[in-house]
Amino acid sequence: MKLNFKCWTALSFLMIMPVCINAQNFTEQNLANPDNTPAPVFPVPNERQMSWFETEFYGFSHYGPNTFVGSEWGNNRRPNAQEFAPQTVPNCEQWVSSMKSAGMKGMVVICKHHDGFCLWPTKSTDFNVLNSANAGPQTDIPQLVSEACKKYGMKFGVYLSPWDASNEHYAEPEYITEVFMKQITELCTNYGELFEIWFDGANGGSGYYGGSSMTNRTIDKATYYDWDNLLDSIHKMQPNCVVWGREFRWCGNEDGYSGKTCWSNFDISEVTVEGANNSGIEDGLMFIPSEVDVRTTSKWFWTQDDESNTKSAERLFQIYLESVGRNATLIMNCAPNTSGVIPNRVVTSLEGLGQLLQTRLTNDFALNKTVTANITRTPGSFAASNITDNNKNTYWATNDGQTTGSFVIDLGETKTIHYVMLQEYIRLGQRVKSFTIETSTDNATWTTFATGTTIGYKRIMAKNDDTTSYGSGQSARYVRVKITDSKECPLIHTVSVF
Ligand code: FUL
């Protein structure tokens, strides 16, 4: 009797089990979703943001009257277009080729800084190159840079300061309709495709260089520029252009780092909160990823003295790890001098950075290597081998509700490794909250390489997350990544080992 009962119990278990397995595995598969694609975890990026993220690293160039008088913000001078006095038309090809040598994939050109001087022949104000000195009137900076970008296969973007410290209409509605919007329209229609438009958040309050006769120069930043309509207008003219402050955010500092925890999720109302800018907001409702802006020297505009502050290639590499390697993009300033070129010292550091990126982050030991996961989403095409197939559109996933999982990459032979790069399939939302990387030479004894929190578009982990030096690395034939917490099932599209 006892035996029979046991038999029945076992039999019923066996009969029920396939149903349970089906119930677990087929949750997301239905007629509308035959591929069992995981449901998105919102917010998710738009196409513009995806291709902006993939640009990863690009430059900008603070250049204008400030270059010739050695100031950063105009310093309350009366507007004088003659201060912009290049002896020859600047060599914008040299700007772009130097940036390319560093590994950059695009350039954002300063078209108007806070002083209000327009580096192109705009119809919106007389304070522009046409009234400048020497070769100034022949100098249409966005034109020259966009041509150079085309020639060197680089993306092209523009920086336009909303704050205009010299325009007499600033702080009045006329400035938006008759000046700012006209400038945006000229830049969006005359120079080809833009990938990014940068609107600086700086606002110097009363800051009218003409001085005391003008009062009431302060504005309400949240409403004055009519951001929502501005965004629509820009996208009508430039559908592939991401807009500063709305589609990407300032990282919260100008020292070249994003938070180790860095969510692309954010809320517009937090745009000015420094800490939030740096780490994002885990449950933020909008996808507004981080952009790190940094100088190659210590000032935004060139001065002779500041050349001695040029950062070394190693320091720039560290900045790269702490920005691109922390789920942000990196925009690096390379200020041209009065001769219209980026100084040699800066070029040397840029080239050095390009070489470091080449030698340290291109030879992927994991490419096409075998990957074994402890759990894989079924049915569907979510195999662990997707992680090393060099295809950004395939990914490994776990089943719904399974917020942890691990996989082992077999490098085939023991290597000395310095960096592990991880990428989530963020088209379906950023998910991972914590992970651990371990290595082994025998697939039995494991040593921790590094632990981290968020991954996002890209996370590059150095040993012990120490970005300060290249170090001696760690011996590894097997690399194990454990996702220890995630908002929903983790989706990992690539892991590279260098
Ligand atoms: C800041 C500006 O005030 C600096 O002059 C520079 O343009 C930098 C990129 O952004 O907020």
Residue 280 has pLDDT above 70, yes or no: yes
471 CA to middle of ligand 1, Å?
A: 34
- Which pLDDT score, from 0 to 100, does residue 200 have? 87
200 CA to middle of ligand 1, Å?
Answer: 6
In a domain, 40, yes or no: no
137/207 same-domain check: yes
Question: Can you read off the two tokens belonging to residue 489?
Answer: 């099932």
Q: What is the pLDDT of residue 273?
A: 54
CA–CA dist 179, 163 (Å, integer): 11
Q: In this predicted model, what pLDDT tens digit does every residue of 98-111 receive, in sequence order?
A: 999 999 999 999 99
Print the domain residue range for 286: 47-360
pLDDT per residue as tens digits for the range 445-486: 999 999 999 999 999 999 999 999 999 999 999 999 999 999
Rounded to the nearest whole angstrom, what is the distance from the C-alpha of residue 202 to the centroid of ligand 1?
7
Pairing of the two strands 249-250 and 290-295? parallel
Tokens of 204: 């110097």
Residue 486 confidence (pLDDT): 98
Task: Ligand 1 pocket test: pick from 61, 200, 253 the residue with the most ligand atoms within 8 Å of its Cβ.
Answer: 200
CB 360 within 8 A of CB 418: yes
Rounded distance, CA 200 to CA 301, Å?
A: 15
Considering the domain architecture, whether residues 83 and 174 belong to the same structural domain is answered as yes
Atom 4 of ligand 1: nearest residue by CA position: 300
The set of residues, in sequence order, having a beta carbon less than 8 Å from that of 439 and lying 6+ positions away, is 417, 446, 447, 449, 474, 475, 476, 478, 479, 480
102 shares its domain with 189: yes
**Per the domain annotation, does 184 fall within a domain?**
yes
Instruction: Tell me the CA–centroid distance for residue 459 and ligand 1, in Å.
Output: 27
**Mean pLDDT over the full length of the chain:** 91
Q: Which of 15-19, 318-322, 376-380, 386-390 has the lowest mean pLDDT?
A: 15-19
User: Cα(100) to centroid of ligand 1, in Å?
Assistant: 22
Strands 405-417 and 290-295: unpaired
Phi/psi zone of residue 456: left (φ > 0), alpha (ψ -120 to 50 degrees), beta? left
pLDDT class of 202 with cuts at 50, 70, 90 = confident
Asked, for residue 13, whether it belongs to a domain, the answer is no
Domain boundary residue, one of 341, 360, 379: 360
Mutate to test the pocket of ligand 1, among 117, 119, 161, 254 (most ligand atoms within 8 A of CB): 254
CA–centroid distance, residue 265 to ligand 1 (Å): 24
Q: Which residue puts its alpha carbon closest to atom 3 of ligand 1?
A: 202
Cα 437 to ligand 1 centroid, rounded to whole Å: 37
How many angstroms does the Cα of residue 438 sit away from the middle of ligand 1?
A: 41
* Count of residues making up the chain: 498
Last residue of a domain, one of 310, 332, 360: 360
Give me the pLDDT at residue 270, please. 58
Atom of ligand 1 nearest to the CA of 60: 9
Atom of ligand 1 minimally distant from the CA of 198: 9
The rounded distance, in Å, linking the Cα atoms of 173 and 179 is: 10
Whether residue 413 sits in one domain with residue 305: no
209, pLDDT greater than 50: no
| Residue 492, domain CATH | 2.60.120.260
Q: Is the pLDDT of residue 210 over 60?
A: no
Tell me the C-alpha distance between 425 and 399, whole Å: 15
339 touches 307 (CB < 8 A): no
Q: How confident is the model at residue 91 (pLDDT cuts 50, 70, 90)?
A: very high
Residues 399 and 351 in one domain: no
Q: Is-cis flag, bond preceding 379, omega within 30?
A: yes
Write the residue with the smallest CA distance to atom 11 of ligand 1.
Answer: 202
User: What distance in Å separates the CA atoms of residue 5 and residue 180, rounded to the nearest whole number?
Assistant: 83
Q: What is the mean pLDDT of residues 7-14?
A: 42
Q: Taking CB atoms and a 6 Å cutoff, what residues make up the pocket around ligand 1?
A: 72, 200, 202, 293, 300
Please report the atom of ligand 1 found closest to the CA of residue 110: 7
Q: For residue 7, is it within any domain?
A: no
Q: 293 CA to middle of ligand 1, Å?
A: 9
The pLDDT of residue 27 = 61
Indicate if 151 and 286 belong to the same structural domain: yes
Q: Which residues contact 411 (CB under 8 A, 6 or more apart)?
A: 365, 366, 369, 476, 477, 478, 479, 497
Cα distance between residue 104 and residue 91, in whole Å: 18
Q: Indicate the top mutation candidate among 112, 158, 272, 293 to test ligand 1's pocket, ranked by most ligand atoms within 8 A of CB.
A: 293
Q: Which atom of ligand 1 is nearest to the CA of 159?
A: 7
Rounded Cα distance between 147 and 157, Å, is 12
Asked if residue 183 and residue 80 are part of one domain, the reply reads yes
pLDDT at 75: 73
Pocket test for ligand 1, best of 300, 303, 306, 332 (most atoms within 8 A of CB): 300
- Residue 163 CA to ligand 1 center (angstroms) comes to 11
Q: Which atom of ligand 1 is nearest to the CA of 73?
A: 5
Residues 386 and 420 grouped into a single domain:
yes
> By mean pLDDT, which of 49-53, 220-224, 226-230, 392-396 is the weakest?
220-224
162 and 216 share a domain? yes
Q: What is the CATH number of the domain that holds 276?
A: 3.20.20.80
442 and 383: one domain? yes
In angstroms, the CA 223 to CA 240 distance is: 25
* Residues 435 and 484: beta-carbon distance below 8 Å: yes
| Contact partners, residue 326, CB within 8 Å, separation at least 6 | 257, 258, 259, 260, 262, 459, 460
Distance 295 CA to ligand 1 centre (A): 10
39 within a domain of the structure (yes/no): no
With beta carbons less than 8 A apart as the criterion, state whether 258 and 266 touch: no
Residue pLDDT, tens place only, 141-157:
999 999 999 999 999 99
Q: State both tokens at 397.
A: 């996933």
Domain boundary among 360, 391, 414: 360
Q: Residue 354 has what pLDDT? A: 99
Structure tokens given for 476:
């590894």
What pLDDT score does 449 carry?
A: 98
- Asked if the structure places residue 38 within a domain, the reply is no
Sequence letter at residue 178? E
Query: What total number of domains does the chain contain?
Result: 2
Ligand 1 centroid to Cα of residue 148, in Å, is 24
| Assigned domain for 365 exists | no
Q: Is the pLDDT reported for residue 12 higher than 70? A: no
Evaluate whether residue 20 is within a structural domain: no
Q: For residue 444, how far is its CA from the centre of ligand 1 (angstroms)? A: 52
Determine which residue's CA is closest to atom 10 belonging to ligand 1.
Answer: 200
Please tell me the distance from the alpha carbon of residue 258 to that of residue 23, in angstroms, as a whole number: 42
Q: The pTM is what?
A: 0.93
Which atom of ligand 1 sits closest to the CA of residue 72? 5
Based on the domain organization, do 141 and 106 belong to the same domain? yes
Residues 375 and 355 in one domain: no
